Structure 1
Amino acid sequence: MSVNDYLELVRAPAVLTVLGDTLAGGSAAGHALGGRRVALPLASACLYAGGMALNDYADRTIDARERPERPIPSGRISARSALAAAAGLTVAGLGLSAAGGGRPALAVGVPLAASIWTYDLIAKNHAVPGALTMGACRALDVLMGAGFGHLRPALSAAVIMGGHTAGVTVLSRGEVHGTTPTTASGVAAGTALLASAVVGGTLQSGGKESRNQILALLAATAAYAGRCAPAQVRAARNPVATNALDATKAGIRAMVPLQAALTVRHGNLAAAGVLASVDLFGKLMRTRSWNRKLSES
């Protein structure tokens, strides 16, 4: 077992897509970026990584047939080690949530952790409950950034992130055997609706947003829709497994610009700048991985 095997187990590049959840929730609740609150994105990362390890533990029998190259079926990581990693990362995530946001954050982190384990062990085996539970996980992650007692101003951001995540989850069920035109079209329509909600909710708020803030909001929202909608439309036109997989990946990568748009929506340009850096780092990671695969082929 190597470090790289564990990084593959927890989907290390995808962990970057949860760092902005608590920034979006914290921005909505009026929390400044800095101080001990920097531990909250790390809490999200640990809980997400733990969920990924638990996912592969729960899917080890199916993966042995459909994805034998993954760490557990390939024998690189034992099922017991994956379960231990899931438990350890979950405990670490809860500890970091308490360190970063105190009891208000932990009060949301506990049901978040419970939802993650419920999804991986039970709900994901059913289409609608699975999508709803995964969406709830992402929404709770956003609310963890706001903290119990400041949930109301962050509800809109939580619903938007949760709605996008539910759509990605629905599409992901077609990664092996394909999806349907109706499913992919519905997810694409959902993307348009969520993008409209982000922009419309700001422009109709009656606030005194600056011209730069509005331009930044429009740019981030366009980046979100532009990153995932084309792949979703392709899956709707040709719902084969490869297109469903591409649409799923695009939806995951679109979460960072969506988080950035939500932070800008609440005037937190500093958090948006951090997320822009995270997005760039994620692109560099994917490029290096692609180049390495080419060199090995």
Structure 2
Amino acid sequence: MRWRDLAELVRVPAALTVPGDTLAGAAAAGWPCGRRTAALPVASACLYWAGMALNDWADRDLDADERPERPIPSGRVRPDQALAVAGALTTAGLAAAAVAGRRPTAIAAVLAGAVWAYDVVAKPTPFGPVVMASTRFLDVLMGGAGHRAALAPATTVAAHVLAVTLVSRGEVHGTTSDLGRVAVATTAGVGLAAAASGRGAPSTLVTGTALAATFAGTVLPAQLDVVRTPDAATARRATGVGLRGLVPLQAALLAGRGAYRAAAGVLAAVPLARLGARVVSST
């Protein structure tokens, strides 16, 4: 297996949308893990990549018909290799979470279970989008070490991921205008929730609100396109834009808590994610 094939298997650029989850949870909870919080974005990325590899392993027969260019159906990666990668990355993710302490490790274990449950069992069922949203909820909660204060940002991020996942189900055969409208309404609500989550000085509130508006301005146009033209290509584009929209959303949640440096670091991932998506698909 070549490095390029491995990168495509795990959707390397898409993991840039993950580190902000744990940072947002940590900021909301008052950084309960201290400096050890730095290990949690690593845990998140590893578990995300594990889910991508497992996704392709679980969908290998379906992809042979619908997406034959993917690593497994194209013969560039064997199914057993993909499964081994998923297992190794899951282990690495749990090990990284262990650096931050027992509570983040316990949540990481539940998160890993949700990732595997989604890909192996829940994805094709009506519960699939909810299970997927739960993984990002748990990811944010992990950053806050399970503290109650992390529940609000966790719910906000999960709601956005739920909308993106609903639209993503139409990436091959198209979706519906009604689902597009649900996504638009959810994005509007998420943007308002992110803007209202700020605490502290007026400058903090203004910065958080501006970034929340940036999030909505990034995601809404592509979702409105789905309402007008709910075909597969439009759904694919809206899914990619929705994933990248997680970054300004996370930055808004961070800035609203006065974590400006963390917000700036998260935003630095935007051009990198766009550049990476030109080389390796993020969906």
| CA apart distance, 1:280 | 2.9
TM-score normalised according to structure 2 size: 0.95
Cα distance between partner residues in 2 of 1:78 and 1:215 = 50
1:263 aligns with 254
> Deviation per CA, 1:198-235, whole angstroms, max 9, x where unpaired?
11243xxxx53232x22321221122111111000000
Cα distance between partner residues in 1 of 2:274 and 2:210 = 18
Cα distance between partner residues in 2 of 1:220 and 1:282 = 18
| CA apart distance, 1:33 | 9.0
Cα distance between partner residues in 2 of 1:215 and 1:67 = 44
| Identical-residue share of aligned pairs (%) | 46
Cα distance between partner residues in 2 of 1:39 and 1:188 = 34
| CA apart distance, 1:197 | 1.1
Cα distance between partner residues in 2 of 1:277 and 1:201 = 22
Q: Is the 8 A contact 1:24 1:262 kept in 2?
A: yes
1:249 aligns with 240
Amino acid at match of 1:31: W
1:208 aligns with 200
TM-score normalised according to structure 1 size: 0.91
**Secondary structure, aligned partner of 1:125:** coil
| CA apart distance, 1:20 | 0.6
Tell me if 1:122 matches 2:138: no
> Deviation per CA, 1:43-90, whole angstroms, max 9, x where unpaired?
000000000000000000000000000000000000000000000000
2:167 aligns with 171
Map 1:1-297 onto structure 2 (within 5 A).
1-31=1-31, 35-99=35-99, 101-127=100-126, 129-148=127-146, 150=147, 152-202=148-198, 207-211=199-203, 213-286=204-277, 289=279
Amino acid at match of 2:267: A
| CA apart distance, 1:239 | 0.6
**Secondary structure, aligned partner of 1:111:** helix
**Residue segments in structure 1 that go unaligned for 5+ positions in a row:** 291-297
Q: Is the 8 A contact 2:23 2:41 kept in 1?
A: yes
| CA apart distance, 1:41 | 0.3
What's the Cα RMSD here? Answer: 1.5
Q: Is the 8 A contact 2:53 2:86 kept in 1?
A: yes
Name the count of aligned residue pairs.
280
Greater CA drift, 222-231 or 56-65: 222-231
